[in-house]
A and B are shown apart, each in its own frame.
Chain A
Amino acid sequence: MDDPRITEVAGSGVPIYGDDVDTDRILPARFLKETTFENMADYLFYDARRDEDGFNDHPLNRFPDAEIAVVNENFGCGSSREHAPQAMLRWGIDGVVGESFAEIFADNCKSLGVPTATADAETVEDLQAWIEANPDGEIPIDVEAETVTYGGETVAVDIDDATREALVDGIWDTTALMRANVNRVAETAASLPYVD
């Protein structure tokens, strides 16, 4: 496996506007019946990105190569489906900056190694406007220092302590964490009378 430590994510941005963007918008329920997450990127904001004439001017259509999403308040609310952050990650989004996030959504992001950073409304709106003017501009999120840099300016953001620690120390991936202890698992399993 690659080094799981995530100290910085960077790339160009996409502003996804609106408060209370729920997971049904991010990933419509009818795609939950698919048996893998593989195609989820295709369904990201599926309905929001289309109108009768095909693709509309949704930000994801305008900034298809973005790696950093910049969102507003209570992003990811609604159902706890892991399909929503999976779809974003598979689209190419490696980090999200927003005014605030729904708790389970942020948790799901953490378990995929995607940092969620919060900032006040003014900062977020400035950043969204800057992306519109600089579609190819780099936006590094420094996870350890809790900053976001754009256009030569560095601003402070907030990344929840447990998430920051997990990402920076590379302990967000429970599968990897637990695989490190295979020998002890074998011992514990062997001590259980019902395991042959």
Chain B
Amino acid sequence: MSGGTLYDQVWERHRVTTLPNGQDQLCVGLHLVHEVTSPQAFSMLDERDLEVAFPDRTFATTDHIVPTTTDGRDRPLADDQAEEMLSALEENVDESGITFFGLDSDRQGITHVVAPELGLTQPGMTVACGDSHTATHGAFGAIGVGVGTSQIRDIFATGCIAAEKQQVRRIQVEGSLGDGVYAKDVILQIIRQLGVDGGVGHVYEYGGPAIRELDMEGRLAICNMSIEGGARAGYVNPDETTYEYLRGREYVPEGEEFEELKAYWESIKSDEDAEYDDVVTVDVDDLDPLVTWGINPGQVVELSDPVPAPGSFETETEQDAACRALDHMNLEPGDSMLGYDVDVAFLGTCTNGRVSDFRQAAAVLAGHTVADDVRALAVPGSETVRRTCEQEGIDEVFGEAGFEWRRAGCSMCLAMNDDSLVGDEVCASSSNRNFVGRQGSKEGRTVLMSPATVAAAAIEGEVADCRRFLDDSPAHTAAEDVSEVAD
């Protein structure tokens, strides 16, 4: 196989031909489908009298519109349009012979949580989904791309997408993370440094010592937010951490077949002398926990720093954005985010809705209770995550602290179900987007942060430093108890 970056190699492996319009035709190795973006594509397929070309490489789940209370999941769903979307998906997957993890499946959950944990996503694959956070799958050394309706139709009809190759930017993450600082803080720091449109025209290759040290769930959180940095995709070269994570997962073969597949996985990674279009270094030594202060995911501060003044930004666009952000968040330059009042704590999503996220938050919560006026929601990214947490007793830590422990779905990430901010509520959120209106209320305010920081905010009723709870002694002991159960 030719050398170059992992991106080059995966591209070459999957390239069928160059189309007359100049784009490359690429095989899609794994197509993930959910209820919101697929129905129009299925009906376009019908209109042309075509069938799904590779049903075996296609997997569907339902996540965006599903209620997260057990009662709310009885059929028909209370929201007519949600019911219609879900029924349409059920019919479509049934007709096409696509495996479906529906509401009655114990594997249901967010596409980007389900595919990795079942071992569907593997190194050296191309993954496509009608969802902008498909970059998540890059954590395995796969190339994940989010696609629109016509492209979903293309994949259904041909198993391929038409695409242009992007440039590759290597993001070298130096240093190592201190206690209470997590993958989420790293990606917020990267987006702060490179900007929300810094990645336009690029895919990001994340590497360096800090990335190597991360487990798979941390890498997933980082790749997930590539899109928030403007990059089309993001990936990490696979290593032993990747292969060991995959061993024994439901859709990963065992024994000799595993070894054969592993040989393929190992053959696809960036050459040591691969040439990048750009290399950027990010240092995370001494990094404090980070939170957003504004209305885009690049408007970020370390907890110890004041909210910046619009004048401190270079471009007029950034300055305007900062003015609008301060106004929306009701902040002044120089204010500290520490102590910013919080009404809602939301833990979940395809960024931070995995088992390790709930473990990290539980370590903070253990022995504490949620502040009186805070509504706190823990929404596992999948039913598998939920079950695993329940086996470890993590749900009890959350329950005792005063969190509602819910069923799997996207939930308050974008409020297409009943979970929504009201009025100008402030939400401490482990999600990925803090755009105005994102969490269901036009006046609502979102502060993005790591799961541990969400837990600290829930306890204090204001933005707080999670390290306090990791250090102080009664909680510390309780936290250790939890992590013992967790291992």
Contacts and interface: CB of A to CB of B under 8 A. Distances in A.
A38 B150 contact: no
B17 interface: yes
A33 B36 CA distance: 8
Interface stretch (B38-46, B219-227, B233-241, B387-395): B38-46
Interface in B111-166: 122, 124-125, 148-151, 153-154, 157-160, 162
B197 to A, nearest CB: 15
Interface in A2-50: 33, 35-38
Contact of A179 (B29, B57, B157): B157
Sort chain B's interface into a size bin.
35 or more
A171 B122 CA distance: 33
A111 interface: yes
A35 B19 contact: no
Contact of A35 (B13, B85, B160): B85
Contact of B44 (A37, A169, A195): A37
A93 B162 CA distance: 26
Interface stretch (A61-69, A118-126, A183-191): A183-191
Contacts, number: 97
Contacts of A177: 19-21, 25, 162
Nearest to B159: A185
Contacts of B40: 35-37, 82
Contact of A184 (B16, B21, B54, B124): B16
B130 to A, nearest CB: 11
Contacts of A152: none
Contacts of A172: 21
Contacts of A174: 19, 21, 23, 150-151, 154, 162
Contacts of B372: none
B56 interface: yes
B264 interface: yes
A54 interface: no
A144 B54 CA distance: 37
B16 A192 contact: no
A188 B150 contact: no
B27 A192 contact: yes
Contacts of A82: 40, 148-150
Interface in A59-91: 80, 82
B84 interface: yes
Given A174-B154, A175-B48, A175-B154, A189 B27 contact: yes
Contacts of A111: 150
A166 interface: yes
A5 B23 CA distance: 19
A192 B260 CA distance: 12
A42 B293 CA distance: 42
Given A33-B81, A35-B84, A193 B16 contact: no
A24 B29 CA distance: 35
B153 A175 contact: yes
A163 B154 CA distance: 19
B14 A188 contact: yes
A188 B20 contact: no
Contacts of A178: 16, 19, 25, 154, 157-158, 160, 162
Given A193-B260, A194-B125, A194-B261, A181 B17 contact: yes
A196 interface: yes
A133 interface: no
Nearest to A165: B21
B15 interface: yes
A176 B362 CA distance: 52
Interface string B1-42: 000000000000111110111010101010000000001100
B372 to A, nearest CB: 37
Contact of B85 (A33, A193, A194): A33
B88 interface: yes
B16 A185 contact: yes
A195 B57 contact: yes
Given A82-B150, A175-B154, A38 B43 contact: yes
Given A166-B21, A178-B157, A185-B159, 19 more contacts: A33-B81, A35-B85, A37-B44, A38-B43, A80-B148, A171-B21, A174-B19, A175-B153, A177-B19, A177-B20, A188-B27, A189-B27, A189-B54, A192-B14, A192-B29, A193-B261, A194-B29, A194-B122, A194-B264
Interface of A: 1, 33, 35-38, 80, 82, 111, 162, 166, 169, 171-172, 174-175, 177-179, 181-182, 184-185, 188-189, 191-196
Interface of B: 13-17, 19-21, 23, 25, 27, 29, 39-40, 43-44, 48, 50, 53-54, 56-57, 81, 84-85, 88, 122, 124-125, 148-151, 153-154, 157-160, 162, 260-261, 264
18 contacts: A33-B85, A35-B43, A35-B84, A36-B39, A38-B43, A82-B150, A111-B150, A166-B21, A171-B21, A174-B21, A174-B162, A175-B50, A175-B150, A184-B17, A185-B16, A194-B124, A195-B57, A196-B56
What 9 A-B pairs are tightest by C-beta distance, nearest first? A35-B39, A36-B43, A193-B264, A178-B158, A174-B162, A35-B88, A33-B81, A171-B20, A188-B16
